[in-house]
Structure 1
Amino acid sequence: MPDQTAPSLLFVGGAANATLAVDVVATAVAQARKRGLRIHMTNQEETFAALPATTALADAASVVDFEKRGEHAAWAGERLAAGENFDIVFGVREMAQEAVAEAAEAFGRPGNPPHVVNRVRNKDAARAALSAAGFLQPACQVFADAASALEFLKNSTGPWVVKPRDAMGSEGVTRLDEPAQLEAALKLMPHQGAFIVEEFVEGPEYSVEGVFIGGAPHMLAVTSKELLPPPHFFEVEYLIPAPMPEETEREIVEQVTAALHALEVRFGQFHVELWVTERGVVMGEVHVRNAGGWIHRMLAHVIPGLEWFGLVFDDVLGLPIDKAALVPSRGAAIRFLTPTPGRLLAIEGWEEVLAHPAVLYAELAVAVGDVIHPYESVEHRVATIAVGADTAIEARDLLDKLEASVRFVTEPVEPAAVSAGVAEHA
């Protein structure tokens, strides 16, 4: 029986039905328990049913649909009328962040205002706000249909990027080098409706991981990214901390800090994407949540003792936070392996990877007989290896050796045999 006098956490949106999402929520819940928090979790009914073990991590659970605008605010009103409130309102899922903001506002708790979250989640609105504030931004335009976008493409100079307004995980994001490629790109969209066409930005891509402490952004680390060649934006490697000159890192931190203030973001975790170009730092997408891609585990190695989710709880509870200790002292790297697409006949060397003492996390998402899909988004990741070392470069060198030790044997299949998921089971 939980202590009813202990501070309480409303965990909006719970977990998605995916290995990474479940691990993120389990980590966040463990850090909440360490602080003595009672936990009430909301989620969609079908996800609760699919994840009974994750649901059981909470003291109480309510079916509330985070995808329906206003639903969490209405639920909060009912709870308040019944005499119940929460000390902290928090969530980790991208698609639940507007619901997190609604609930925090309704309960009168710290959080990002709903209109701020809505703006950063709509990529074109965030681009417009950053551009108006003087930040370098790729030219960007929203289109309702292919005909109007095609006319724009024919009268402008590429390359371009086509993307949904509010998806995640690089889903539906495609580079176009000529207008004729638009039709195929739109077929990859996760849903119908308005979409964005924007200028392709030349330059290495990074992200900044951080947390707000006392309303001010604190940068934990800069992450470097490696991607497969276009047309898709499939990320295959992260290094933390990103190897770069100090002046470049300083410029990135300054730009991200200023951008978060300009967008009026003020609470919780953040994951901000950007490019370093000849013109300077070009801001990418801003997320008011933790990063994906197992970065939460990498950061815990890079900054010994770090509890990224716990910092949010400590901030609300007024507990002391030693910001001087929140700096990287080690390195980590992750590789998302990309074996040749086709039917998987055999996997060799994976057990040796699992047994390596430097491995922070390793996951194999395919089995013999599956059909490996061509790589278009994070949904198509088939194998993951994350390692920790004294430096990010040493971690990357170790990944090279581990990846070379694993052998995937595949055979070609007819295009019709490849499903739209990670793999098609035989």
Structure 2
Amino acid sequence: MRKTLAGGALDTVGWMAAHDRTSARAAVERLSTPSGEPVIVKPAAGRGSLDVRLVSRETAGAILQSYPDKALADGLIVERFIGGAEYSVETVSLNGCHHLLGVTEKLNPPRPPYFVEEGHLFPASLEDARLADIRDRIFLLLDALSITEGVCHTEIKLDGDQMHLIETHARPGGDRIWRLMELALGIDPIEIGFAALCGRPAALPSSMPANRFAAIAYLCGEGGPVSEASLDGSIRDIPGLVESRLLFQTGMVAPPTRDSYSRHAFVILTGPGETALRGNLESALSRIRIVCDPPARSALA
């Protein structure tokens, strides 16, 4: 994607590719100049925020040393860190025509140094002019990448009036964003997208059957032996609750949350109003309890 966009109107993020620690270190030095601000380093073949790190000149040596040789061989992408609010754009392309399904807001935006996503709300409430600009620019991106069929998930950042393309994927969004779209829109975009990919008749309905909001929130932690994992029974009384799940049980060892695969629990809710949904989401999270003993305490026991 970065190579395809290079030099064009959509190319707004400084970046370099690296295949060894020496070239990666040089990229960190170059892209953090002259401000000295940290940069983002991520494996080109990565997924689920795995090994996405904020790297400064001072920390570059230690962090780059932590990447396995396989990740280096596959390539690292070093990018300037972009500030602003983070969203993802969900689209489906049918017979070369792109359709905007909606924009997903990142709840509790990912924070350094690991940038683990803690929740999503679909659809994001954006002004019509902003939404139209996002749509037009994403459609330009899909044309540039020769996308003609199927679902795509594009991550962006909005910094003032500027929209920055972070990365795009010719697949549905992870973190059950596909489920949020089903709940909010009342259709199955994945089924429609795959029908198009298989050469079968595929089309969006002339009007969406539903007009609701849906959200997912994850519980994160520092990890350790799990001494307690429970869902308060009253969680079932929260309006719009679709699913609540513990990802680690008592007696297991939960890892510290460093990527999408090490979060500890999640809830999914839906509702007709955004404000009420946000409140219900917080209430649902408060009724999940996962207690991890510190490693030192566990060892003494």
Give the TM bin, normalised by the shorter chain: 0.7 to 0.9
- More deviation, 294-303/406-415: 406-415
CA 1:185–1:413: 2 relative to 1, 3 Å: farther
1:332-352, Cα deviation, whole Å (9 max, x unpaired): 110011134332211243444
CA distance in 1, matches of 2:221, 2:236: 18
Alignment check: 8 A CA contact 1:163 1:172 kept: yes
Alignment check: 8 A CA contact 1:237 1:334 kept: yes
Alignment check: 8 A CA contact 1:332 1:391 kept: no
Alignment check: 8 A CA contact 2:229 2:290 kept: yes
1:191 corresponds, among 47, 50, 71, to: 71
Give the total of aligned pairs.
290
How do residues 146-295 of structure 1 correspond to structure 2 at under 5 angstroms?
146-155=21-30, 156=33, 157-188=36-67, 191-193=71-73, 194-226=75-107, 227-295=109-177
CA distance in 2, matches of 1:234, 1:416: 26
2:192 corresponds, among 308, 311, 315, to: 311
Alignment check: 8 A CA contact 1:174 1:185 kept: no
Larger Cα Rg: Structure 1 or Structure 2?
1
Alignment check: 8 A CA contact 1:364 1:383 kept: yes
% of aligned pairs identical? Answer: 24
CA distance in 2, matches of 1:415, 1:131: 52
CA distance in 1, matches of 2:236, 2:250: 18
CA 1:385–1:352: 2 relative to 1, 3 Å: same
CA distance in 2, matches of 1:261, 1:327: 28
**Corresponding residue for 2:4?**
129
Gaps of 5+ in 2: none
Query: What TM-score comes out, normalization by structure 2 length?
Result: 0.87
Larger helix proportion, structure 1 or 2?
1
Matched, 1:411 2:293: yes
Higher relative CO (Cα under 8 Å, sequence separation at least 6) belongs to 2
- More deviation, 141-150/328-337: 141-150
CA 1:327–1:285: 2 relative to 1, 3 Å: farther
Gaps of 5+ in 1: 1-125, 418-426
Alignment check: 8 A CA contact 1:172 1:186 kept: no
1:391-413, Cα deviation, whole Å (9 max, x unpaired): 33322211101111222222211
CA 1:268–1:152: 2 relative to 1, 3 Å: closer
**Corresponding residue for 1:299?**
181
CA distance in 2, matches of 1:373, 1:139: 33
1:144-175, Cα deviation, whole Å (9 max, x unpaired): 22123223433523220000112211111101
Residue type of the alignment partner of 2:185: I
CA 1:327–1:397: 2 relative to 1, 3 Å: same
**Corresponding residue for 2:15?**
140
Deviation at residue 298 of structure 1 after TM alignment: 1.0
Any idea what SS the aligned residue of 2:93 has? strand
Residue type of the alignment partner of 2:172: N
CA distance in 1, matches of 2:113, 2:144: 32
**Corresponding residue for 2:228?**
346
CA 1:225–1:321: 2 relative to 1, 3 Å: closer
Any idea what SS the aligned residue of 1:380 has? coil
Deviation at residue 282 of structure 1 after TM alignment: 0.7
**Corresponding residue for 2:268?**
386
CA 1:209–1:328: 2 relative to 1, 3 Å: farther
